[in-house]
Structure 1
Amino acid sequence: MFRKAGVVALSAGLLLTAGATGVMAGGSPDWAGPPDWAGGPGGPPDNGNGNQKVENVIYMIPDGFNADYATNYRMYKDEEAVWDEHMKGMFTTYSADSSITDSAAAGTAMATGEKTDNGVIGLNPEGNELETILEASADEGMASGLVATSTITHATPASFASHVEDRNNETAIAPQLLAGEVDVLLGGGKNNFLPESEGGNQETDNLIAQAEEQGYELVETQDALLDSEIDIEDGEKLLGLFADDALAPEMHRDNTEEPSLAEMTESAIGNLEQDDDGFFLMVEGSQIDWAGHANDAAWAMQDTEAFEAAVEEAIEFAEDDGETLVVVGGDHETGGMTVGAGENADMNVNPSVLKDVTATGDHMASELNDDRSNVNEVIETYTNFELSEAEAQTIQQADDAALAINTIIGDQALIGWTSTNHTGVDIPVYAYGPQADKFTGYLDNTDLPKIMAGALGVELGE
């Protein structure tokens, strides 16, 4: 498949320290990284599926997810998740300048196989451009796709097809996604493709018009996505921008015309599989991370459920195809979620209560009146339990009403939290398909794209 080379313009910016974008204090610790005997791109033993041919890679990233999320989700679902039987190993996540990574540095490591500083996308700490697994695959004629429930210019998807010093510079990321000619782009962030004169964030450029000139079909609704058909081999591409900013949380998606993550994944696979040279697809469940930042256990579990549906689409395709490798691994953990909270004398967890929560804590807080005298009515509207007098008073007096609501809902589920930011714990990796066992053992996040590149037979980092 023919691809023209795009000239990527690098943009400079200051690293912000607010929220998840901030650079954490301190560099990586002395112990960081796998020991000499542990796994790596050449290290893990080949335990059963040899060097079978890999034509396609589907890289599924549940942002903010780790083993505690997996455990709580299994209890929430009351049965194993689709990824459980495909557990292979664990990996470390530290960035070049911190023991705790942000999504930009983690995304860069998982896309390029190289560490960088927090806040930086697609560049090493010295500012040099790093080749991504998506770009290396495209150089070999493979089709490519990015799917996310955030803006498509957000840190994780951006890490696979752009190179900027500041992850927040999404208006610089958007044109790079088009310059790289990613075949399928599905997510939110329409405003980052439109000029200010049309209510967008670009100073003057209309990137949607530019995309259409490049052969992209624009779709903006669930129905339009499901009806879309493009011919990858004929150079046609698909740009789905389903919201001005990020898509709605999963529990609010039914009130919109936005597609589910599973629908976007199915559409991306269906279009990309037309390429005889194979494809590379990254799919992010973006808002699991946002739920973790909010300590919102219901949002976290329901967006994990939506992510699992997307993974099921990927594995079903891989089962039929026989030459597709599916890899599932979060970029870091968010919130310090725990299995069990409080004194918990019964030593039990009850995440199933979260199935009946129908709004995020942020949404519930937005419906409180000025004196919060309607707190009981709001909670009863969106949950299946009544507040005690003490709980109602806690919400009424809290500086952060949303966090207070989420804490009480978490207490109902006996799910706890230790942070409202990222943590530095190791992350499980799951894999299915040819060469899946090469992910076995104790890895680093930089190992994942190296293993994928080896499985695809592409050179990474040239």
Structure 2
Amino acid sequence: MGRRSDGRDLTKEWQEKFDRAAYVTSADELNALDLSKVDHLLGLFEPSHMKFESDRQKDEAGEPSLAEMTSTAIDILSRDEDGFFLMVEGGRIDHAHHDGNAKRALKDGQAFAQAVQMALSKVDLDNTLILVTADHSHVFTIAGYPTRGNPILGLSVPPAKDGSPGTEPALAEDGKPYTTLGYWTGPGAVTGERPLVTSEEAQDLDYHQQAAIPTEWENHGGEDVALFAAGPWSHLVGGVIEQNVIYHIMDYAMGLSEDQSSD
């Protein structure tokens, strides 16, 4: 019943509203479902946000991965002869960036990529349009000309003068090394003298990447973000477009507008 004060159990009401409905709260329950008997599925795995992917993997009992949820959704929705619309969001990428925590952000980015790959493996691109994009960027940077093979989360180690892989980190004007990844704003900034950070410390899961301006939370960026597409009408994606054009691409591909020609 959560925090409701009226005693209503909305999940129970939802289940009673539909035939062949299922409600799950864990990965084990989701994996145990016989999807041939389910037309409506509700999964609520946390009282608030779901876990970051790095933390989810430590929890053997609990949440399904984004790819697993994507797979289940497509299995159910694809039975509709009229087709379907599905939106999948790797929402915690944003949260990790706001916390200045690059390791969790990148790990959740990988989980999102796996969900995209899962979708590609389960649909027919002759009749299914897939769009992949972001709603904004972050003030997230890469710096220091790191040598090939240098840990992306570690200190910035440039190549040696002869071009061979380097071994010593680059030093800033204060004589201290700096991380390859950083933020313009965020909780990783300090006032006064910078602490000396080792590569091992910088690669810790809970490390807040160095930032230039101390703020409680890191901020969104303002540059363009990429839009990738595959499937019918994906050729309409190209160049620089306004964000509202994405709606019109989906509208055209699905033939929703009444004044749209049948072709």
Q: With the length of structure 1 as denominator, give the TM-score of the two structures.
A: 0.41
Q: Secondary structure at the match of 1:453?
A: helix
- Where 2:87 maps in the other structure, the secondary structure is strand
Q: What SS is found at the alignment partner of 1:279?
A: coil
What is the percent sequence identity of the aligned residues? 33
The answer to whether the 8 Å contact 2:67/2:118 transfers is yes
Q: Distance in 2 between matches of 1:300 and 1:250?
A: 9
Q: What amino acid sits opposite 1:242 in the alignment?
A: F
Instruction: Report matched runs for 1:324-343 at 5 Å.
Output: 324-334=128-138, 336-340=139-143
Give, in whole Å, the separation in 2 of the partners of 1:275 and 1:426: 36
Is 1:243 aligned to residue 243 of structure 2?
A: no
The reply on whether 1:203 has 2:1 as its aligned counterpart is: no
1:407 aligns with 2:209: yes
Q: 1:264 aligns with which of 50, 55, 69?
A: 69
Secondary structure, aligned partner of 1:238 = strand
- What TM-score, normalized by structure 2, do the two folds share? 0.70
Residues 222 and 258 in structure 1, CA contact (< 8 A), matched pair in contact too? yes
Equivalent of 1:440, from 233, 238, 248? Answer: 238
Q: What amino acid does structure 2 have at the position aligned with 1:309? A: Q
Residues 35-90 of structure 1 deviation map (CA, whole Å, 9 limit, x = unaligned): xxxxxxxxxxxxxxxxxxxxxxxxxxxxxxxxxxxxxxxxxxxxxxxxxxxxxxxx
- Alignment deviations for residues 358-396 of structure 1 (CA, whole Å, 9 cap, x no partner): xxxxxxxxxxxxxxxxxxxxx99xxx7158xxxxxxxxx
Alpha-carbon offset, residue 291 of structure 1: 1.2
Structure 2 unaligned segments of length 5 or more: list them: 155-196, 259-263
1:12-411 matches, within 5 Å, as 194=1, 200-204=2-6, 205-215=8-18, 216-230=21-35, 236-256=39-59, 257-318=62-123, 320=124, 322-334=126-138, 336-340=139-143, 344=144, 346=145, 350-353=150-153, 385=200, 405-408=207-210
C-alpha displacement at 1:322, in angstroms?
A: 2.6
Q: SS where residue 86 of structure 2 aligns?
A: strand
Whether the 8 Å contact between 2:71 and 2:119 is mirrored in structure 1 is yes
Aligned mates of 2:219, 2:95 — CA distance in 1: 10
User: What is the letter of the counterpart of residue 452 of structure 1?
Assistant: M
In structure 2, the CA distance between the partners of 1:386 and 1:208, relative to structure 1 (3 Å rule), is closer
Say if 1:237 and 1:339 are closer, same or farther in 2 by CA, change over 3 A: same
Cα distance in 2, alignment partners of residues 203 and 441 from structure 1: 51
Change (3 A) 1:299 1:453: same
Q: For each residue in 1:233-258, what CA deviation from the matched residue of structure 2 results, as whole angstroms up to 9, or x when unmatched?
A: xx830000111111111001023311
Q: Is the 8 A contact 1:292 1:300 kept in 2?
A: yes
Q: Is the 8 A contact 2:39 2:76 kept in 1?
A: no
**1:449 pairs with one of 234, 247, 260:** 247
Taking structure 1 as reference, are residues 386 and 274 closer, same or farther at Cα in structure 2, changes over 3 Å only?
Answer: closer
Q: Distance in 1 between matches of 2:97 and 2:71?
A: 26
2:218 counterpart SS class: coil
Say whether the 8 Å CA contact 1:229–1:271 is kept in structure 2: no
Cα drift, residue 348 of structure 1:
5.1
Cα separation, 2, equivalents of 1:245 and 1:428: 29
Number of the residue aligned with 1:119: none
Tell me, in whole angstroms, the C-alpha distance in 1 between the residues paired with 2:126 and 2:118.
14
Counterpart contact for 2:125–2:231, Cα < 8 Å: no
Q: For the structure 1 residues 317 and 230, does the alpha-carbon distance in structure 2 shift closer, same or farther, using more than 3 Å as the test? A: closer
Distance in structure 2 (CA, Å) of the matches to 1:424 and 1:304: 19
Q: Is contact 1:328–1:429 with CA below 8 Å preserved after alignment?
A: yes
Going from structure 1 to structure 2, the CA distance change for 1:203 and 1:332 (only over 3 Å counts) comes to: farther
Report runs of 4+ in structure 1 exceeding 3 Å deviation: 229-232, 346-354
Matched residue SS, 1:258: coil
Contact 2:25/2:43 (8 A) holds in 1: yes
Judging changes above 3 Å, is the alpha-carbon distance between structure 1 residues 386 and 429 closer, same or farther for their aligned structure 2 residues? closer
Answer whether contact 2:53 2:107 (CA < 8 A) is retained: yes
Give the aligned partner of residue 95 of structure 1. none
Deviation at 1:326, TM superposition (A): 0.6
The structural deviation recorded for 1:202 is 2.9
What is the CA–CA distance in structure 1 between the aligned matches of 2:135 and 2:88, rounded to whole Å?
Answer: 12
Find the aligned partners of 2:35 and 2:244 in 1 and give their Cα distance: 34
Q: Deviations over 1:318-368 (max 9, x none)?
A: 3x453111100101113x11122xxx3x455845447xxxxxxxxxxxxxx
Equivalent residue letter for 2:200: F
Structure with greater helix percent = 1
Tell me if structure 2 keeps the 8 A contact 1:220–1:242. yes
Structure 1: how far apart are the matches of 2:4 and 2:87? 25
Aligned residue type for 2:127: E
**What displacement does 1:446 show?**
1.2
SS of residue paired to 2:200: coil
Supply the AA of the counterpart residue of 1:303: D
Mark the CA change 1:385 to 1:271 in structure 2 (over 3 Å): closer, same or farther: same
- RMSD of aligned Cα (Å): 3.1
Q: Indicate the structure (1 or 2) with the bigger Cα radius of gyration.
A: 2
What is the identity, as a one-letter code, of the residue corresponding to 2:84?
A: F
2:165 maps to what in 1?
none
Amino acid at match of 1:424: G
Residues 230, 237 of structure 1: 8 Å contact kept: no
